[in-house]
Structure 1
């Protein structure tokens, strides 16, 4: 089933996924597509198979900064669907891909009928909140190169080594000046860790990128592994029953 390409949907027991299947549709996520506007009701809930969805805070001076990424490991819009369906931030597609999509009203009904599904959604929301909190601390205290390497490591986890990124977009996501991105990217390229040309970035040495990243890369990955280790175990047990 294509929906199982998403980590969360793929961890559901077959009976639960079968209940969800008729209500899910596979959609394309186009680069730059706006999935939610600040303080507006969401239209769909997305479980990405590929690509990256970004949650972005916009400030009054026009500057922006990314506060969290969602890829094939998670979902966007589930917590809003379970509550009042309003997005607090701008949410856009950073890297194009595909996703399983469902209407927020239908998701809320199914989550109330399927407690294992609802528990998984709540667990992911807890992880995403921890990611946002880690990002806030990171943006406040870590230098630009360490933050950049952390960001690239997360991108690599979700989308692989080849990324389509302009320096302007890179700077907007990081909340820094474009000149700062140019300097850091040049240093990483000079060290042979990445290559970057005309908006195409390739990560050559992810292990060295991780070594230069701040502690936040390890913290986010460890939080995810710790929170979902029991999901793996529970799913294996239920599939054997």
Structure 2
């Protein structure tokens, strides 16, 4: 079943997934597709198979910073759908991919009828809050290089070693100046950890990248394993 390419849906028992599969539709989403605007009602819920969803806080002055990253380990829109709430962030496809989509109303009905499904969604919401809190601490305490390496490791887990990313986009996601990203990318490339050309980054040495990354990525992995009682490495 294609929906099992998402880790959360794959955790459901066959009987539970069968009950909701008729309401799920697999669709492709392109890089830059907007899934929600700040303060807009959530109409659909997305379970990624591939690609990455990015939650971005926008400021009045035009600035923006990523606060959460969602891949095939998670879901966007479920907690809002359960309580008929709005999105607090601008939410966009950071990397293109396929997702299982369900309407918010149908997801809420399924969660009300199936306690195991609701419990899974609540657990992921707890993990995502932990990820956002870790990101806030990381942005305040760690160097641009350490944060960049952490960010690249997370991207690798969700999208592989070849990443279509401009330095402008990376700078915006991290809330830093483009010149800072250019400097760090040059250092990493000189050290043989990455190659960078025309908006494409290739990760060459994950061990070295991991050595220069802050501890936040491993902490996020630990949160996931504790919440889901999982030994899975891909988080």
CA contact (8 A) 2:57 2:67 kept: yes
Could you tell me how far 1:84 is from its partner in structure 2? 2.1
| Higher-helix-fraction structure | 1
Matches within 5 A, 1:39-58: 39-58=39-58
Matches within 5 A, 1:223-234: 223-229=223-229
Counterpart CA distance in 2 for 1:119 and 1:209 is 35
- Unmatched 5+ stretches in structure 1: 233-241
Cα distance per residue 1:51-83 (max 9 Å; x no partner):
000000001111110000000000000000001
CA contact (8 A) 2:224 2:230 kept: no
Of 90-99 and 199-208, more deviation after overlay is shown by: 199-208
1:35 paired to 2:13: no
Could you tell me how far 1:230 is from its partner in structure 2? 5.9
1:141 paired to 2:141: yes
CA contact (8 A) 1:11 1:231 kept: no
CA contact (8 A) 1:49 1:98 kept: yes
Could you tell me how far 1:208 is from its partner in structure 2? 1.3
Counterpart CA distance in 1 for 2:145 and 2:106 is 43
TM-score by length of 2: 0.97
Q: What is aligned with 2:218?
A: 218
**What number of residue pairs does the alignment pair up?**
232
CA contact (8 A) 1:166 1:199 kept: yes
Q: What is aligned with 2:202?
A: 202
Q: Alpha carbon RMSD of aligned pairs, Å?
A: 1.1
- Unmatched 5+ stretches in structure 2: none
TM-score by length of 1: 0.94
